[in-house]
Amino acid sequence: MNRTWNLTTSALAFAAVAGASGTALGNADVLAKSRDAANVVMPSITYNGWNYSTLDQITPANVKNLAVAWTMQIGILDQHEASPLVIGDTMYIASPKPNYVYALDLTKDGVIKWEFRPTMDVALATSQTCCGAQTRGLYYAEGKIFYSTLDGQNIGLDAKSGEQLWRTVGTDITRYEGMAGNNIVAGKLFIGGNEGGEGGARGKVQAYNIDTGRQQWVMYNMGPNNEVGIGPKFKPFYADDKKPNPALESWFGDSWKRGGGTSWGYFTFDPELNMFYYATGNCGPWNPDYRREWGKFDLDANGGLADWRSNYCASQMARDATTGELIWAYNYTPQDHWDIDEPLITPLLELGGKKIAIKAARNGLFYQFDRVTGEILNDPFMHTYQDMFKKDAQGKWVNRTTGRPNYNINVAYWSDLADQQKYLPNRAGTQFPSTFAGYTGTENCYYPGTNARNWDNDAYSPKTGMLYFSNSLNGGCQRMIKGDYVPGQGYTLRTSLNLPGGLPNKLVDGTNTPNESQFVAIDVAGNKTAWTRNFRYSNQVPVMATATDLLFSCGNDSGVFRAMDAKTGNDLWTFKWGSRCRQSPITYSFGGKQFVAVIASSASANTAVAANAAPDDANRYRRSGSTLYVFKLPG
């Protein structure tokens, strides 16, 4: 079933059955179990997306004593991106390629209670998706475990036995459309999105009944109003979104049908407002000429883009959690030429008496939104170096009246040199010499090089008032190319380039640095960066915070697991495990003791590189493997 929304009696009837009160629409079992810090019932721990635990046995004073309690060899060599869950005396983990689920007995140091193996064509799934073989989440509610496989299966399992209760396919993997496993349980609905923006998939979110798996609704992120869920509830704040068909008329011709904007990032949920929040992926294809009047990039006096904005890819979305209707939307990077998709989680908090949603975006800017209306409440500032936007005469990156970012046209892209020269007659050859292979004159470099950040979980601590995350300091170079859409094949219409002599990494002030990434702490109330910590080698990883001002995170820069001081970023404890890691740690309580659990995993051994690596090269310390580690204090 592929049901799109319209305001019919059936939609209204479903809303009535689900309950009229906003609070009642938060799943009572999820709310109750997530209030008990012993449990971890969803990625990022709670509906608000803080990835913050109130457990307090492990402190800055004793964290140095953390020791391994037990381990488990998972046996699947790949990058694990789904954090474990813990409910009562059972831990649940999910694996990549293939997407198995395991239930582990905490009373017996992780003895397997049951294992679920879905029917899955791994070769097809990995050949028809962009970026790995992940599933990024397990979800618990009412005695059931829910998750999505890479090839688009949504599955409900009995949490005690592992029996499959239902299975519903939500995507067409043969058309380059999969599922990353970023979902949420809201009321009686299991809500998730799709991936495949690199293959012309059209972004959507869809909801399934948690008892039956029956699909309740599908909402697209671009297209006609009835398919996007734009109706009486849609009350956006900015004029660009108040047009009659904002998600259709901002696309040239029928380009919206292949528009990307997939929903492969984490969701957050406000049970009181009964609204869920997520952001969308890159526009498809990357080449903007296939989504606009060919060659057009006309800006207003401040550098804001008025036409062919490609709503709503690279955008923030807020929807009704019962019907899926769109409440408001905001386009972070209109017409996105750079793969600046926004799958990052949208943490929810209160500041100055307002319900706000915050986002340290992949475009390099930090935003605070009124969670109800979508109004930008801060002056967005640069947390990671980018040069796509410039400051206006008032020193602002974003015009607060229009909501438009002020573009730096010098890093825009065109397919044809003649079109580029209408706007930038002197750019050709300024970075790439005419002797460069395949030279057209349209080659160019930009920051933040497809992302200032990736999908990794943030952490927010109400004790410090800080948002924590990892970033990338790299830039990128590319050339737009021409081509046709072919179902089931890649559809980016661009090619990556290497600048002769290399492209330097840059700090937020624009200075060059040998470092590849950082941890960043943002003082949310102060609307500024509180501290940064540099890493010589790439360390884009999730982070978890605790009530004792600790941050736990993987250390891919040197093959360690680490605990940091949340006030300074300094290491307080490290454990050498000789692996990569790409999932958020969790902390839970069992038998009156606090534990920390995380999976060290990697598919690549890098032995040839390691043999000749410099003494401080991260490749010397990282090998393939997939091991669940569980730590606790001694005694």
For 236-254, the pLDDT digits (tens) are 999 999 999 999 999 999 9
Q: Assess whether pLDDT exceeds 50 at residue 22.
A: no
Please give the single-letter amino acid code of residue 160.
Answer: K
510: DSSP letter = S
Q: How far is CA 384 from the centre of its chain?
A: 17
Give the pLDDT score at 23. Answer: 38
Task: Report the C-alpha gap between 262 and 200 in whole angstroms.
Answer: 10
In percent, the amount of the chain with pLDDT more than 70 equals 93
Kind plus residue range of the DSSP H or E element containing 29: helix 28-35
Identify whether 204 is part of a domain. yes
Give the pLDDT score at 606. Answer: 57
Q: Assess whether pLDDT exceeds 50 at residue 6.
A: no
The neighbour count for residue 142, using CB atoms within 10 Å, is 14
- Per-residue pLDDT reduced to its tens digit, 66-103: 999 999 999 888 889 999 999 999 999 999 989 999 99
For residue 1, give the CATH number of its domain: 2.140.10.10
Q: What is the mean pLDDT of residues 18-45?
A: 78
Task: Report the C-alpha gap between 293 and 289 in whole angstroms.
Answer: 7
Give the pLDDT score at 334. Answer: 98
Task: Report the C-alpha gap between 603 and 132 in whole angstroms.
Answer: 10
Q: How far is CA 457 from the centre of its chain?
A: 7
Distances from the Cα of 457 to the Cα of 83, 280, 454, angstroms: 10, 16, 9
Identify whether 597 is part of a domain. no
- Nearest one of 331, 327, 377, 382 to 360, comparing CA atoms: 382
The strand pair at 348-351 and 326-331 is best described as unpaired
The two three-digit tokens of residue 161, written as one number: 């036995």
376: DSSP letter = B
- Per-residue pLDDT reduced to its tens digit, 525-574: 999 999 999 999 999 999 999 999 999 999 999 889 999 999 999 999 99
The two three-digit tokens of residue 295, written as one number: 């060659």
- Per-residue pLDDT reduced to its tens digit, 40-62: 999 999 999 999 999 999 999 99
**122-126, 384-388, 408-412, 463-467: least confidently modelled range:** 122-126
Task: Report the C-alpha gap between 170 and 201 in whole angstroms.
Answer: 13
Identify whether 178 is part of a domain. yes
Identify whether 19 is part of a domain. yes
Give the pLDDT score at 97. Answer: 82
The two three-digit tokens of residue 455, written as one number: 């999908």
Return left, alpha or beta for 12; rule: phi > 0 is left, psi -120 to 50 is alpha, else beta.
alpha
Identify whether 57 is part of a domain. no
The string of DSSP letters for 403-438 reads --B-B-GGG---SSHHHHHHH-TT-TTSSS-TTSTT
Task: Report the C-alpha gap between 569 and 546 in whole angstroms.
Answer: 14
Give the pLDDT score at 526. Answer: 98
Q: Which domain holds residue 209?
A: 1-35+118-426
Q: Assess whether pLDDT exceeds 90 at residue 392.
A: yes
Please give the single-letter amino acid code of residue 182.
Answer: N
**200-204, 378-382, 451-455: least confidently modelled range:** 451-455
Give the pLDDT score at 55. Answer: 98
Q: What is the mean pLDDT of residues 396-407?
A: 97
Identify whether 289 is part of a domain. yes
In percent, the amount of the chain with pLDDT more than 90 equals 85
Collapse the DSSP code of 614 into the 3-class scheme (helix H, G, I; strand E, B; otherwise coil) and give the result: coil
Render the burial of 536-562: b for 16+ CB within 10 Å, e for the rest: ebbbbbbbbbbbbbbbbbbbbbbbbbb
Confidence at 450, pLDDT banded by 50, 70, 90: confident
Confidence at 605, pLDDT banded by 50, 70, 90: low
Identify whether 386 is part of a domain. yes
Q: In what order do the strands lie in the sheet with 593-602?
A: 67-73, 625-632, 593-602, 586-590
Q: Which residue has the tokens 């004790």?
A: 463
Render the burial of 500-518: b for 16+ CB within 10 Å, e for the rest: eeebebbebeeeeeebbbb
Task: Report the C-alpha gap between 413 and 408 in whole angstroms.
Answer: 11
Torsion sign across C-alpha atoms 375, 519, 507, 436: negative
Give the pLDDT score at 8. Answer: 31
Q: What is the mean pLDDT of residues 453-465?
A: 96
Give the pLDDT score at 529. Answer: 98
- Per-residue pLDDT reduced to its tens digit, 92-143: 999 998 999 999 999 999 999 999 999 988 888 888 887 766 789 999 999 9
Identify whether 129 is part of a domain. yes
Give the pLDDT score at 635. Answer: 85
Q: What is the mean pLDDT of residues 569-589?
A: 95
Number of domains in the chain: 1
Task: Report the C-alpha gap between 291 and 252 in whole angstroms.
Answer: 5
Give the pLDDT score at 611. Answer: 66
Residues 6+ apart with CB under 8 A from 489: 176, 199
Give the pLDDT score at 267. Answer: 97
Span between the terminal Cα atoms of the chain, in Å: 55
Task: Report the C-alpha gap between 416 and 405 in whole angstroms.
Answer: 25
- Mean pLDDT for the chain? 92
